[in-house]
Amino acid sequence: MTTIKHKIDDAKDLHDEPFGDVVLRHLIYSVGKDKTHAEARDWNVAVSLAVRDRMVEGWIDTTRHVYARQQKRVYYLSMEFMIGRMLEDNLTNLGLLSEAKEFIASQGLDVETVLHAEQDAALGNGGLGRLAACFMDSMATTGVAGMGYGIRYQHGIFRQTLEDGWQMEEPEDWLFEGNSWEFRRPEVVYEIGFGGHVTHDADGKATWTPAESVQAVAFDMPIAGWEGDHVNTLRLWSARQSGMMNLDTFNDGDFMAAARQQVLAETISKVLYPGDHTPQGRELRLKQEVFFTSASLQDMLRRFFTNYDNLDNLGDHVAVQLNDTHPAIAVPELIRILMDLHGYTFERALEITRETLHYTNHTLLPEALEKWPKDLFEHILPRHLQIINMIDGHFYQEAMAKGLDHHIIAGIQVIHPHQQDWVRMGNLAFIGSRKVNGVSALHTELMKQTVFHDLHTMYPDKIINQTNGVTPRRWLLECNPGLAGLITEQIGDGWIDDLEQLQKIAPLATDAAFQKAYRAVKSANKQRLADMVQERTGITLNTDAIFDTQIKRIHEYKRQHMNIMEAIALYNAIKADPEGTKRGAAWQPRVKIFAGKAAPSYFFAKLIIKLINDVAAVVNNDPDIGDKLKVVFLPNYNVSMAEVLIPGSDLSEQISTAGFEASGTGNMKFALNGALTIGTLDGANVEMLDHVGEDNIFIFGLKADEVAERQHRRARPSEVIKNSPMLQQIMSQLSDGTFSDGETERYRDFLTNVGDHDYFQVIPDFQAYWDMQRQLDGLYQNAEAWFEKAILNTARMGWFSSDRTIRSYADQIWRAPHKMSGT
Ligand code: NBX
């Protein structure tokens, strides 16, 4: 039986009780069912509660230790946490997985069905939210006293369905069946104010009287690190009406009026805003940001005051990380608390804030840099706006002292002094933080050169890089048990929390027996993926084909449309030469797999989804093509689906326009699981190239500076198209209805976008992309050469563990203690 290192006295008994008995006890007394009537979901809950019991011990113990040692605390503020399912993760980290599986099987149940009878917690849009989840795992594993703060959305990211190939959105309802992992903390409640007015007394002390307020109620989830001894907390806030419903109104029969306040208040944590890189959804979104940021700051300061009696040295004991600008309101909110509630001067309050807050930027796309109309801001946050004006005044003096020109200063103040239109959250976050980081080396460089150029000149030491990483627990150990087992057989299990140990398998890359075993694992994972595709789409896949996968949010800069255009070109080429006699080689079969959601208001992204489905309908039903090419779009991409797609893929598509993908993290997950990467020199691909070596990654296309140069001079794609029969054929098929049942209008916007402007440089990169794909076709036919590279990818990806990333944040940003690797 597994033990947990730190036991707490009051819970001793639990260890003596076999795990299966605890599950059965929960099935009866917590779920209220007996064995004969229990369904998969009931068993899932019972097992979850049994694991949760064990986690609670480490949790209470960790909390005690952190208090006792007065360990520096790290708070990760994020609008999004894309944590997925938690049961397998927690069983794994607590070392209970095999015991639980055996027990489930012993009850005559299907293990997978029970473990998977849990809805994904999909409280995020994409990479930013998933990164936050990996960081939670790694903070616990590396012993950082970390706490995540976010919103307990009642509805996470929408459920994507397809209607005639078009994306439809349906509300998601993850809490309907309950959440076994959370603890409601009704005693942890804060008031969050909006609107109202500000008065100043004779000494200048401000008092803000909000016009309305809502309550934030805490829900906690324990987050266990590897081996379960360090357990941190993810605290999510749920909105609730302040004060009780007006019973008089209700008794008078005006039920609607009585319910109105409640509905308005609860709306704040109702839905995750589904915009990815598209600035919309005004007032509610701003309120959501204020809501969770203010509650989190109030909560961390309350905790701080249990150990200290003033806030002078806050930054020595507390580090706050702002996950993008969504919590940037923390800057004026912390200053407000320090000034208005604790009597600090503005200057001192700003200093303390700048010792405590840090900001991570995740995108350079100008339309994704958050800004709020000043009027809206003033309406909702009158006191914060005053403070922002003070920050701007102070900043102006600082900038003048450093010799900056006042036009330049105007461009980087939070509010442009002459235009007075927008509150620019990136500038606010930058000015109010001690450190600002990018998420890959290239991205950080571009931050310095572009969006934050002038701020960087002023504070040359503020921007630093922290290349993203992924947790090896979820993204190798759990999602790929076959490969994990094979690695452990060879080098032991030290790699699980010290991923650089994977280097030790590099010498086996050419070892025949190891290659054979590695290939067998890949084949089994491909079969599992093929089964999922069969079940969800009815399409039968040939597992000898290259499984070529692109899974991520749908966006022009990510260029799923370049990928599907390549599929069209391949289709045309096979049609023209079905047996490959003219080209002198048979076609390498290929399966193109796509999955991802488009922002509901992003028409072009939805059109790309439609095109993928239209091409699939033609290609998959063409008898001349057969197994040589299949195109698959899997609806409703989420974390659980990624856990099947990543281990089962041969090829990973990381083909963004160079300079646009801040980092990527899917790229890391694929390579770790032995898929080869076809990609551009963008984001973390650049660093992956350094680690795996140029023979083991397939880089093509324009570089970031070449892209910028072409965009700057508005280079048109027409010349390139004129010289490419392949592109001409694709473009004319898109306008003659080949893929749209003869409808010639459907892809008109597409043709204008790509054929006339091509801001994202699909056309100039196309030939290089095609050539690289054909090179990969050839390579795949030499299995030994292919798998040598695949194994070397796995062996050399150790640096991309999020444990490394977190230790680096802890050392270079948070100045917070952590365990060294492998200890
Ligand atoms: O953050 C992503 C980047 O695009 C990836 O390159 C990077 O790997 C990842 C983690 O650093 N950004 C991202 O996911 N952004 C959002 O999801 C987002 C959500 C809401 C919003 C703006 C951006 N208003």
- Domain-wise residue ranges, the chain: 75-85+120-468+806-814, 472-800
365: buried, middle or exposed (CB in 10 Å: 19+, 13-18, 0-12)?
A: middle
**β partners of residue 550:** 594
Average pLDDT of the chain to the nearest whole number: 95
pLDDT for residue 615: 98
Q: How far is the CA of 600 from the centre of ligand 1 (A)?
A: 16
Ligand 1 pocket: which of 363, 465, 470, 639 to mutate (most atoms <8 Å of CB)? 363
Q: What is the CA radius of gyration of the chain?
A: 27
**Residue 367 — very low, low, confident or very high, per pLDDT cuts 50/70/90?**
confident
Residue with CA closest to ligand 1 atom 22: 277
The CA distance from 249 to 13, in Å, is: 52
CB-ligand 1 contact for 120 (6 Å cutoff) = no
Pairing outcome for strands 159-163 and 166-170: antiparallel
**Residue 823 — very low, low, confident or very high, per pLDDT cuts 50/70/90?**
low
CB-ligand 1 contact for 655 (6 Å cutoff) = no
Q: How far is the CA of 664 from the centre of ligand 1 (A)?
A: 9
Are 234 and 261 contacting, i.e. CB atoms less than 8 angstroms apart? Answer: no
Are 594 and 567 contacting, i.e. CB atoms less than 8 angstroms apart? Answer: no
pLDDT at 619 over 60: yes
Q: How far is the CA of 194 from the centre of ligand 1 (A)?
A: 28
Question: What average pLDDT score do residues 11-19 get?
Answer: 71
- The number of the ligand 1 atom at minimal distance from the alpha carbon of 665 is 8
CB-ligand 1 contact for 665 (6 Å cutoff) = yes
The better pLDDT of the pair 57, 258 is held by 57
End-to-end CA distance of the chain: give it in Å, rounded: 23
CB-ligand 1 contact for 662 (6 Å cutoff) = yes
**Residue 240 — very low, low, confident or very high, per pLDDT cuts 50/70/90?**
very high
- The number of the ligand 1 atom at minimal distance from the alpha carbon of 468 is 11
- The number of the ligand 1 atom at minimal distance from the alpha carbon of 360 is 11
Q: How far is the CA of 289 from the centre of ligand 1 (A)?
A: 16
Q: How far is the CA of 285 from the centre of ligand 1 (A)?
A: 17
- Give the pLDDT confidence of 590-610 residue by residue, as tens digits: 999 999 999 999 999 999 999
Q: How far is the CA of 126 from the centre of ligand 1 (A)?
A: 6
CB atoms within 10 A of CB 194: 20
The CA distance from 239 to 288, in Å, is: 9
Are 117 and 783 contacting, i.e. CB atoms less than 8 angstroms apart? Answer: no
Q: Do domains 75-85+120-468+806-814 and 472-800 have the same CATH topology?
A: yes
ipTM for the predicted complex: 0.99
Are 257 and 249 contacting, i.e. CB atoms less than 8 angstroms apart? Answer: yes
CB-ligand 1 contact for 287 (6 Å cutoff) = no
Give 365's contacts (C-beta < 8 A, 6+ positions apart): 277, 557, 660
pLDDT for residue 5: 43
CA distances from 412 to 278, 351, 448, 510 (A): 22, 19, 13, 55
CB-ligand 1 contact for 126 (6 Å cutoff) = yes
List the one residue out of 766, 753, 727 whose CA is nearest residue 607: 753
CB-ligand 1 contact for 58 (6 Å cutoff) = no
Give 531's contacts (C-beta < 8 A, 6+ positions apart): none
pLDDT for residue 3: 41
- Give the pLDDT confidence of 291-332 residue by residue, as tens digits: 999 999 999 999 999 999 999 999 999 999 999 999 999 999
CB-ligand 1 contact for 261 (6 Å cutoff) = no
Largest CA distance in the chain: 91
pLDDT for residue 14: 58
Q: What is the DSSP string of 354-408?
A: HHHEEEE-----GGGS-EEEHHHHHHH-HHHHHHHHHHHHHHHHHHHHTT--HHH
Q: How far is the CA of 130 from the centre of ligand 1 (A)?
A: 9
pLDDT at 4 over 50: no
Architecture category of domain 75-85+120-468+806-814 in CATH? 3-Layer(aba) Sandwich (3.40)
pLDDT at 256 over 90: no
Q: How far is the CA of 682 from the centre of ligand 1 (A)?
A: 15
CB-ligand 1 contact for 360 (6 Å cutoff) = no
Q: What is the DSSP string of 63-84?
A: HHHHHHHTPPEEEEE-S-EEEE
629: part of which helix (H) or strand (E)? strand 629-633
Are 298 and 320 contacting, i.e. CB atoms less than 8 angstroms apart? Answer: no
Residue with CA closest to ligand 1 atom 18: 276
Ligand 1 pocket: which of 329, 362, 372 to mutate (most atoms <8 Å of CB)? 362
pLDDT at 13 over 70: no
CB-ligand 1 contact for 127 (6 Å cutoff) = yes
- The number of the ligand 1 atom at minimal distance from the alpha carbon of 661 is 6
**Residue 366 — very low, low, confident or very high, per pLDDT cuts 50/70/90?**
confident
- The number of the ligand 1 atom at minimal distance from the alpha carbon of 130 is 10
CB-ligand 1 contact for 661 (6 Å cutoff) = yes
Question: What average pLDDT score do residues 401-426 get?
Answer: 96
CB-ligand 1 contact for 439 (6 Å cutoff) = yes
pLDDT at 669 over 60: yes
Q: Classify domain 472-800 at the CATH topology level.
A: Rossmann fold (3.40.50)
pLDDT at 270 over 90: yes
Ligand 1 pocket: which of 138, 277, 370, 670 to mutate (most atoms <8 Å of CB)? 277
Q: Which sequence positions are flagged as catalytic?
A: 362, 552-553, 558, 665, 669
Q: How far is the CA of 553 from the centre of ligand 1 (A)?
A: 10
pLDDT for residue 7: 47
The CA distance from 418 to 420, in Å, is: 6
Question: What average pLDDT score do residues 397-413 get?
Answer: 96
